[in-house]
A and B are shown apart, each in its own frame.
Chain A
Amino acid sequence: MEEKTLVKYIENRLEYDEKQLVIEWINASDENQEHYNMLKAKHTVSAFNDPLLDVDKTYAVIKERRKKRRIKEALRSWLPVAGVLVIGWLMYDFFNSPETTKSGIVDNVETGIVEEVTPKGVSRAVTLPDGTEVVLNVDSRLRYSGAFQGSLREVFLTGEAYFEVKRDTSRPFVVHAGDMNVKVLGTSFNVRSYSEDEDTRATLVDGSVEIESAYGVPVRLEPLQTALLDRQDRRIEIKRVSAEEAVSWKEGKLIFRETLMEDVLEDLERRYDVEFVIRSEVLYNYQYTGTFDNLNIDEVLRVLKISSPIHYKKEGKKIILN
């Protein structure tokens, strides 16, 4: 076999028929195979340092994966302490709150602190004493002083909520969420700060808000901009979003754009009050793009099965993926 033809084969520049001949030739003897082996290695080496891999882009993907695991590791190592904190806090609530209503409102008469809580799978609209409308997404908690007195209207959020703030220029409205404070006069916006998330994010729909954090100067948002505060890097990033994306969950939609499957599943767990057990390494790295428009969990699973490398088995609240 001519060396030239072999090189052409390695470079994938042969027609189908010629290719077949080369394959036959390599398979004809150990000697031929060995000859090919060295030529292939030399050809491979000759391409070294050609910038064929987008190193920046692929490293960003790896970094993303690494960050997720680090949070998990941190959670795991803090679990014993967190357990004590949660228990301590539950007991506090138990002794101090005379009434726990069915809707999840915890009203503490002594301190005047009102707490609105939504469990997994349930979102709810709430009207605050000043007339501000809040839609609390699933698995979220909003605390505020019942009277709303003083020069500030302050609320504390874990989870996600959409706000339509009643205008009152004399008393700014402030949402405390994680490391972020969102300060507004009268406007509508969305804040998301689930503890499993890597960032706290505020999306402005209409009006104007100011984002404060401990890590830099305050930032003013324009409508349809999102401020993402990365909890690890402690940096605020501003992104543009579509009106549909901004508060899609309010209309019962879940929109994902090149989102890591792990994040998608986290959102689904909260929304449908289910638990995913992932038994496939491949799934972790899979990025999903798609919209679930008011689907029930079975419909969601069917869509996922068609559009991504997922097989599932449902066992009560548990869904096993492989």
Chain B
Amino acid sequence: MNKANSNNLVSLIRQGDEKAFETLYRLYANNLFIIARSYLRDDFSAEEVVQGIFIAIWDKRNEIHVKGNVGGYLFKMTKNRCLDILRKPRKIVSMEEEAVLLEDAINFKALQDREASFLLEEELEKRIEEAVELLPKTCKKVFLKTKMDGLNYRETAEELHISVKTVESHMTKALKHMRFHLREFMSCFPFFG
């Protein structure tokens, strides 16, 4: 997703658009969870991190300022929250307690690593970009207009100077394609399922 489009998603969220918020969640939540889970090595904490981020985004939607892309913004939030958890000694009662603390320290450093962070952030955004980029040209435009900018079919048709019927057929194609590439993304739009 290019910068302009992700920012549209954010500005829709700032206006209180729940569908845009859900789209953002469905696009990113799973991969953010994978990052948190990998460094925290604990599903429960990872789930809490991801939920906390999105609840914070919704609660403070008026104050969101995204420089660069949304993926980078979400990654930094995930990273900071994970670092907070890894920094504090966790309450773990087990034989391997000491090892867990040592591993937290190791993973704290690993997540702080600039090069590693760069890789994670890049890949996070790339997965979504790739899927959108693979769409044929008009199809991509239609998809971005309706799903990212939140226009309806008629508005999209007017803007792109094509008929509503053409918009519809492009959407069907785009959604089929996105379903293949981003399984999670699709559950956003059950009507096309």
Judge if A2 is at the interface, Cβ distance under 8 Å.
no
**Contact partner of A61 among B51, B107, B117, B123, CB < 8 A?**
B51
Contact with A along B178-193 (1 / 0, CB 8 A): 0000111001000000
Contact with A along B24-36 (1 / 0, CB 8 A): 0110011101110
Judge if A12 is at the interface, Cβ distance under 8 Å.
yes
**What are 6 pairs between A and B in contact, CB < 8 Å?**
A23-B103, A40-B38, A44-B39, A47-B34, A62-B51, A285-B48
Known: A16-B99, A37-B113, A58-B29. 11 other contacts (CB 8 A): A26-B106, A36-B106, A38-B113, A47-B34, A48-B34, A49-B127, A52-B30, A52-B33, A58-B47, A59-B22, A62-B55
Judge if A305 is at the interface, Cβ distance under 8 Å.
no
A51 engages B30 (CB within 8 Å) = yes
Chain A residue nearest in CB terms to B106 = A26
Chain A residue nearest in CB terms to B181 = A49
**Contact residues, A90-108 vs B (CB, 8 A):** none
State the Cβ distance, A127 to closest chain B Cβ, in Å: 46
Residues of B close to A307: CB separation below 8 A: none
Judge if B177 is at the interface, Cβ distance under 8 Å.
no
B123 engages A48 (CB within 8 Å) = yes
Residues of B close to A43: CB separation below 8 A: 38
A40 engages B183 (CB within 8 Å) = no
Q: How many A-B contacts if CB must be within 8 Å?
A: 107
Contact with A along B95-131 (1 / 0, CB 8 A): 0100100110011011001011101100110010000
Residues of B close to A27: CB separation below 8 A: 102, 106
Judge if A66 is at the interface, Cβ distance under 8 Å.
yes
Judge if B54 is at the interface, Cβ distance under 8 Å.
yes
Residues of A close to B110: CB separation below 8 A: 33, 36-37, 40-41
A38 engages B182 (CB within 8 Å) = no
Chain A residue nearest in CB terms to B26 = A55
Chain B residue nearest in CB terms to A12 = B41
B59 engages A52 (CB within 8 Å) = no
Chain B residue nearest in CB terms to A285 = B51
Residues of B close to A19: CB separation below 8 A: 99
Q: What band does the interface of chain A fall in when counting residues whose beta carbon is under 8 Å from B?
A: 35 or more
State whether A45 and B41 are in contact (beta carbons under 8 Å apart), knowing that A53-B47, A62-B25 are contacts in the complex. no
A23 engages B107 (CB within 8 Å) = no
CA–CA, A45 to B37, complex, Å? 12
CA–CA, A44 to B121, complex, Å? 11
State whether A23 and B113 are in contact (beta carbons under 8 Å apart), knowing that A44-B120, A52-B34 are contacts in the complex. no
Residues of B close to A234: CB separation below 8 A: none
Residues of B close to A44: CB separation below 8 A: 34-35, 38-39, 120
Chain B residue nearest in CB terms to A38 = B116
A37 engages B51 (CB within 8 Å) = no
A45 engages B120 (CB within 8 Å) = yes
Chain B residue nearest in CB terms to A62 = B54
State whether A33 and B109 are in contact (beta carbons under 8 Å apart), knowing that A23-B99, A52-B33 are contacts in the complex. yes
